[in-house]
Amino acid sequence: MTSPSPPTGSHATSLDLGGRTALVTGAAGGIGRACALRLAAAGAKVRAVDRDAEGLEALAALSGPLAGTLEARVLDLTDLDAAEQVAAGTDVLVNNAGIQLVRPVEEFPPEVFHTVLTVMLEAPFRLVRGALPHMYGQGWGRIVNISSVHGLRASAYKSAYVAAKHGLEGLSKTVALEGAPHGVTSNCVNPAYVRTPLVEKQIADQARAHGIPEERVVSEVLLQDSAVKRLIEPEEVAEAVAYLCGPQASFVTGTSLVLDGGWTAH
Ligand SMILES: NC(=O)c1ccc[n+]([C@@H]2O[C@H](COP(=O)([O-])OP(=O)(O)OC[C@H]3O[C@@H](n4cnc5c(N)ncnc54)[C@H](O)[C@@H]3O)[C@@H](O)[C@H]2O)c1
């Protein structure tokens, strides 16, 4: 059996965000970087937020057509007051920053559980809280929460991550109900395993937790439940975000756009 290839060439959704400001958290790498670039390519002025100053600098220093469209904001999202403030005045908010720790519940450090919930659930709440007054004032806004298959399904050894993502799904739906009369949509995007540093970093942990060699982790753990046997690329996730920001998605709210290669079809 051969692994299917990701799509090649340009299949970009038509999207014009000229005059709009978009904030993307976790923009220094992986999915966040791809989202920041995609929204900038659509004409948005992008506020790129991350705690990784070096990664943000590399993004903001891009030359070519996107030069000057990405503004770096170095921020650790555990500073919740700062998170709320940085979101003020944005038209599009992409809650993307995330962390992972793979450990059985009885060995999971409580302080890490707390940090995961803070970065991946409480900070999105505060960012939404900071963004809504401007969105409501102008009668338009787009909130996209990068959830996961783990917002809909659990996996062993990921208690904090699964709890945070399930919580994010609930937050997103509640914001959709409150935002609808103000022209604000709120949705989740739910990828299976994406080719990013977050996944590469967990391979050793997964091998240890499952008691198998690292080279068997991708096929036997990560892709076990996916009918399409490949990792998804960050740009494919960014394209789903672009779709949700466009006028064609104005009726799409309070839902989850699942990009899981058939995982949840089981
Ligand atoms: N990679 C996957 O397979 C996958 C699958 C489903 C969902 N997701 C979700 O996508 C999102 C992005 O994941 P990724 O794979 O691109 O990860 P990544 O590790 O490549 O990027 C995450 C970014 O978040 C930033 N970040 C982490 N903690 C932060 C904090 N306290 N303050 C500010 N920035 C912080 C990191 O510096 C990093 O740049 C996450 O929410 C993740 O849960 C990823």
How far apart, in Å, do the first and last CA atoms of the chain sit?
Answer: 21
pLDDT for 197 equals 85
User: What is the bridge-based pairing of β-strands 141-146 and 92-95?
Assistant: parallel
Ligand 1 centroid to Cα of residue 1, in Å, is 31
pLDDT tens track for 114-142 = 999 999 999 999 999 999 999 999 999 99
The pLDDT-based confidence of 3 (bands split at 50, 70, 90) is low
Q: Give the residue, out of 50, 56, 221, 223, with the most ligand 1 atoms within 8 A of its beta carbon, to mutate for a pocket test.
A: 50
Fold of the CATH domain 21-191+232-254: Rossmann fold (3.40.50)
- Rounded distance between C-alpha atoms, residue 38 and residue 236, angstroms: 10
Res 78: pLDDT: 98
Please determine, for residue 2, whether its predicted confidence score (pLDDT) is greater than 60.
Answer: no
Please state the φ and ψ torsions of residue 252, each to the nearest 5 degrees: -95, 105
| DSSP percent split of the chain into helix, strand, coil, nearest 5 | 50, 15, 35
For 201-240, the pLDDT digits (tens) are 889 889 999 999 999 999 999 999 999 999 999 999 999 9
At 4 the pLDDT is: 66
What is the predicted pLDDT for the residue at 145? 99
pLDDT tens for 48-95 read 999 999 999 999 998 788 888 999 999 999 999 999 999 999 999 999
**C-beta contacts of 159-164 below 8 A and 24+ residues apart:** 159/105, 159/108, 159/113, 160/101, 160/108, 160/112, 160/113, 160/116, 160/117, 161/98, 161/100, 161/101, 161/116, 161/120, 163/113, 163/116, 163/117, 164/98, 164/116, 164/117, 164/120, 164/121
Q: What is the mean pLDDT of the chain?
A: 94
Confidence category of residue 1, pLDDT binned at 50, 70, 90? very low
Residue 8, pLDDT score: 58
pLDDT digits (tens, 9 = 90+) for 31-57: 999 999 999 999 999 999 999 999 999
CA-proximal residue: ligand 1, atom 19 (nearest):
198
List pocket residues of ligand 1, CB cut-off 6 Å: 26, 28-32, 50-52, 55, 76-78, 96-99, 119, 146, 148, 191, 193-194, 196-199
Looking at the predicted structure, is the pLDDT value of residue 106 above 70?
A: yes
Burial class, 162, CB count within 10 angstroms (exposed 0-12 / middle 13-18 / buried 19+): buried
Residue 100 has pLDDT above 60, yes or no: yes
Indicate the pLDDT class of residue 10, thresholds 50, 70 and 90: low
| pLDDT value of position 178 | 99
Q: Which residues, 6+ apart, have CB-to-CB distance to 156 below 8 Å?
A: 104, 209
Q: Where are the domains of the chain?
A: 21-191+232-254, 196-231
For residue 200, pLDDT beyond 90: no
Closest CA to 56 of 71, 42, 66, 43: 71
d(CA 213, CA 217): 7
Q: What would the 3-class secondary structure string for 184-226 be?
A: EEEEEEEECCECCHHHHHHHHHHHHHHCCCHHHHHHHHHCCCC
pTM: 0.95
Instruction: From 242, 234, 259, 256, select the one nearest 27 (Cα to Cα).
Output: 234
Catalytic amino acids? 161
Angle at 37 between CA 3 and CA 40, to 5 degrees: 145
